[in-house]
Amino acid sequence: MGNRRFFSKLKDYNYVLDQLLEKKRFLEDTKNLLLSMFYKIETSFDDYAKIKMVHVSKSEFLEEIIKDIDEYCNFIYLLDPKREEIQSLKSQDTFALTEEREKKVYSYPTEVALLYGIADIKPKYFFIHEKYDYIKDIFQKLLAEGANLNRTEVIRNFNGWSWDPDGDRHINFLSNLIYQNLSIVFGDIFLKRWENDSSPKNDYILEMKKRLKEGYDEKIMSSFYNSLFKLLFVLSEDREKYREKYDKFVKMYSEIENKTEYILKLSKEKVRHVKRIENIDKIMESQELLFQEFKRKNEKLPDEKKLFNISDLADVLQKEKEIKSKRVKQLTEMEKPSNYVSLKNDLKEKIEIMSVLENDDINVNDFIISFEKEFLKCIDKEIEEITERDEYIELLYKLRYCKRLRIDSETRIGDIKVLDNLILKIMKKIVTKACQNKIFNVFSRNIDINFNIISKVVDSTIVNFEDIDISLQKEDSDLAVCIWDNDVLEKKEVISFNFDKRELATRLKKKVPLYVF
């Protein structure tokens, strides 16, 4: 199939999939589960796209999955939960296992597990530039797992008629949380580009920093970046390995802190290398010196490593010269004042971030909350810039989605009081501005009461805000907010306050759309 588009119209995907399955010769139960998986994706995708505000079409989403099956899945094995073969999945607490070289997928016999396996076997680059090598392993692993979970969410939490975030009971919650936060701040297109970029030269972390600085400000950029990396180290399973790196950075920083001594040390090393390069040139130009060097080197080398002839020696000397010449260039650059400052600041930043490794008694939740606070600062900052109707609505969708992201099997972001209060504060800004700009209908002349009413709506799991109507009822001295999904009463929330009909902007019991149409 190559890289051509697999289908131009969504209705064609069944035919393309049938052709692919015939070519792959999968077992019948695998074919049936794949067809069922695609049907569920097709029926759930619109709700998924609306809730998450994704920027990829249904046809593009399906096309990518078919392409991945074609290129990376030669064998798909559905494991029987009743047999011992399933133990490998249970022991690693995963939906599916893959063998990339053999292009094999081993999966639980469910649509979600199968989609996870197809996502997992696809190569994910997420290259980390060498200057961030100290965080590379942790970050790449998290991003890859987050990408897999992001792919499966379309059927994990959606069933074609409702959004059910409780589907996230058995996943890597923190990989998903961090990935989704990054997707909201930097965009799903940015993460997809990073995932698919096979060039190790591009610095996506630097691009993240630039986007944060340009889109928000220097302070937000620094605090967001630092809180993210600190959280990654706190989540690390190999703390001892990173402690060794941390100790190395601390030692390097102490060595360069005295600029005069540091520059003198570089200068001495540079002189030493330059002299050796000059010496190699003299040896290479003299047959007599070459023979003397040949004899000298072989006297020091064990038998299995002795040089056979002068030609071998010339190769060794040339390689040594190239290495030392490269080091001389590095030292020349390091001596420059701007590079000294850059190195010092870089080490200082690494030490500050990795200092979390010094504390063995760490509460992971503290670092999760810290990162989420920085994430919410970004959302809060966006409110200052938005002017269009769709921008207000998109931010509300994103905040509602964020509230339901889990940090563990029992706790959502919205269950953490300090974070829920921040989210409500940001929502209030958006809702108030949206009402002032006649995007939402006004239900009370009192700003606090009006937000209290609309917040009950935004906090619902109704997929599309456009389908929501609100009616208000008096219940004793309280106000009941009835939330309708088209003609179906979704829920009724009671607001306790001293009821005063004059503060309402709509008639009691009248169904009023959330939106101003």
Bridge partners of residue 41, in order along the sequence: none
Q: Is the pLDDT of residue 6 over 50?
A: no
103 touches 125 (CB < 8 A): no
* Pick from 319, 353, 468: nearest CA to 400: 468
Bridge partners of residue 495, in order along the sequence: 479
Q: Is the pLDDT of residue 285 over 50?
A: yes
Compute the residue count for the chain. Answer: 517
103 touches 75 (CB < 8 A): yes
How much is the average pLDDT of 166-171? 75
Tell me how far the alpha carbon of residue 224 is from its chain's centroid.
Answer: 14
179 touches 228 (CB < 8 A): no
Q: Which of 381-395, 453-467, 493-507 is the least confident region? A: 493-507
Q: Is the pLDDT of residue 359 over 50?
A: yes
Over residues 381-435, the pLDDT tens digits come to 999 888 899 999 999 999 999 999 999 989 999 999 999 999 999 999 999 999 9
For 437, phi and psi rounded to 5 degrees?
Answer: -95, 15
Band (5; pLDDT cuts 50, 70, 90): very low
If residue 484 lies in a helix (H) or strand (E), which one and from where to where? Answer: strand 478-485
Band (499; pLDDT cuts 50, 70, 90): low
* Pick from 76, 66, 62: nearest CA to 25: 76
243 touches 357 (CB < 8 A): yes
At residue 351, the pLDDT reads 96
Instruction: Give the predicted TM-score (pTM) of the model.
Output: 0.87
